[in-house]
Structures are given as structure tokens and as C-alpha cells.
Structure 1
Amino acid sequence: MRATYRVLASAIAVAVVLQIASIALAGFTIASDAEDGATIGADYTNFGQSYHSIAGTAIALVALIFLIVSFLTDVPRGRMLAGIVLGLVVVQFLLAVVSFGLPALGVLHGINGLAIAGVAGAASRRASTTVAQPATSA
């Protein structure tokens, strides 16, 4: 289970990096399309935006599975780290929803995404360390 925990934590961290890349792609695509004369309105979408939305939902699901797996492993503070990841993912969703009405909060959405990647990376590293075995007497 320790390996599963590590893989899930790593997957979340990598997925957040892909989220950052996809929203950058979305922004540059919007700028390029606008420069080319495209109308950017409520019905406008591009691959980066679509990917960002779908992958965000997938990250939430993986974070929930990650928390469940944390109860089945012996990773030191593993449950706490998985709980923090899931909590940050919930905050991320709330920041996304609120940021459409108050765009300045989008900055916090970006910073929180980095926090998710950092905590998930820390959890992965913690799962990679060996557990000290109790000494046995002969």
C-alpha cells in the first residue's frame, strides 16, 4: 500500500503541473485567437480551458482515493498529508467558483494549486523513505 500511496501522491503533483501548463496554454490561445479576430465570449472555449476543467475534477477524485489509501498504509503522517491535500483541493474548487465573480481571487487559486503540488510531493517523498524496523533479539 505504501507504493500505491506514493504513486497517488506523485500523480497528484504531476497533474497539478499539467494544470498549470494547460491554463497557460488557454491564456495564450485566447490572446492568439483574439489577435486573429476571434470573438471571445461566453460560448468561447479552447483545449487548454477544457483540459483544465476536466483534469481538475480528476484531481479531486484522485485526492479522495489518496485519502482512503492513506488509512491503509504505514506512511508516517500519511493520513494528515492526504487530508491536507484533499482539503486544499476543496479550497481550490471553491476559489475557482468564486474567482469567476471576483477575478482577483484567481491569484489565490494559482497559489493554492502550487500548495497542492508541494504537499502531494512531500507526501510522495515521505512514502519513499524506509520505515525503521524494530530490532529483534536472537
Structure 2
Amino acid sequence: MRAAYRVLASLIAIAVVLQIASIALSGFTIAKDADDGTTIGSDYSNFGQSYHSMAGTAIGLLALVLLILSFMTDVPRGRVLAGIIVGLVVLQFVLAVVSFGLPALGILHGINGMAIAAVAGAASRRASSPTPVPSA
């Protein structure tokens, strides 16, 4: 179960890195399309935006599975870290929704995404460390 926990936590961290890359792709695609004369309106979409949205849902599901799995493993502070990840993912969703009305909050959305990756990386490292042997 430790291996599954480690893999899930690593997948979350990697997925967040891909999220960051996809939103950068989206921004540069918007700039290029605007330069090419494309009308950017409410019906405009590009691959980076679509991927960012779909992958965000996947990260949420992975976080929930990690939390459930954390109760079946002996990773030190594994439940706490998984709970923090779920909390940060919920905050990430709220920040995304609110940022459409208040774009400056998008900065916090980006920072929180990096926090998710950092905590997921820490959780993965915890699962990789050997289990302490109880003293007799």
C-alpha cells in the first residue's frame, strides 16, 4: 500500500506540473491567435485551456483516492498530508471559480497549485522512506 500511496502522490505532483505547463501553453496560444486576428471571446477555447480544465478534475479525483488510501497504509503522517492535499485542491477549485470574477486572485490560484505539488512531493517522499521498526 505504501507503493500505491507513493505513486498516487507522485502522480498528483506531476499532474500539477502539467497543469502549469498547459496554462502557459494556453496563454501563449491566446497571444498568437490574437496576433493572427482570431477573435477572442466567450466562445474561444484552445487545447491548453481544455487540458487544464480536464486535468484539474483528474487531480481532484486522485487526491480523493489518495486520502482513502492513506487510511490503509502506514506512511508517517500520510493521512495528514493526504488531507492537506484534498484541502488545497478544494481551495484551488474555489480560487478558480472566484478568479473569473476577480482575476487578480488568479495569482493565488497559481501559488496554491505549486503548494499542491510541494505537499504531494513531500507525501511521496514520506512513503519512500523506510518504516521505523518499533522498539521492544
Is TM more than 0.5 here? yes
Q: Give the TM-score taking structure 1 as reference length.
A: 0.97
Code of the aligned partner of 1:2: R
State yes or no: 1:34 paired with 2:34.
yes
Code of the aligned partner of 2:6: R
Gaps of 5+ in 2: none
Tell me what 1:72 maps to: 72
Code of the aligned partner of 1:71: F
Give the deviation of 1:132 after TM superposition: 1.8
Tell me what 2:9 maps to: 9
Any residues of structure 2 matched to 1:13-92 within 5 Å, and which? 13-92=13-92
Code of the aligned partner of 2:133: Q
Tell me what 1:106 maps to: 106
Query: Which secondary structure does the structure 2 equivalent of 1:49 belong to?
Result: helix
Work out the CA distance in 1 between the residues paired with 2:13 and 2:105.
22
Work out the CA distance in 2 between the residues paired with 1:61 and 1:121.
17
Work out the CA distance in 2 between the residues paired with 1:12 and 1:104.
25
Code of the aligned partner of 1:46: N
* Cα-to-partner distance string for 1:28-50 (whole Å, 9 max, x where unaligned): 00000000000000000000000
Runs of 4+ in structure 1 off by over 3 angstroms are none
**Greater Rg over alpha carbons, structure:** 1
Tell me what 1:120 maps to: 120
Work out the CA distance in 2 between the residues paired with 1:111 and 1:81.
18
Code of the aligned partner of 2:81: L
Q: Give the TM-score taking structure 2 as reference length.
A: 0.98
RMSD: 0.8
Work out the CA distance in 2 between the residues paired with 1:81 and 1:135.
25
Gaps of 5+ in 1: none
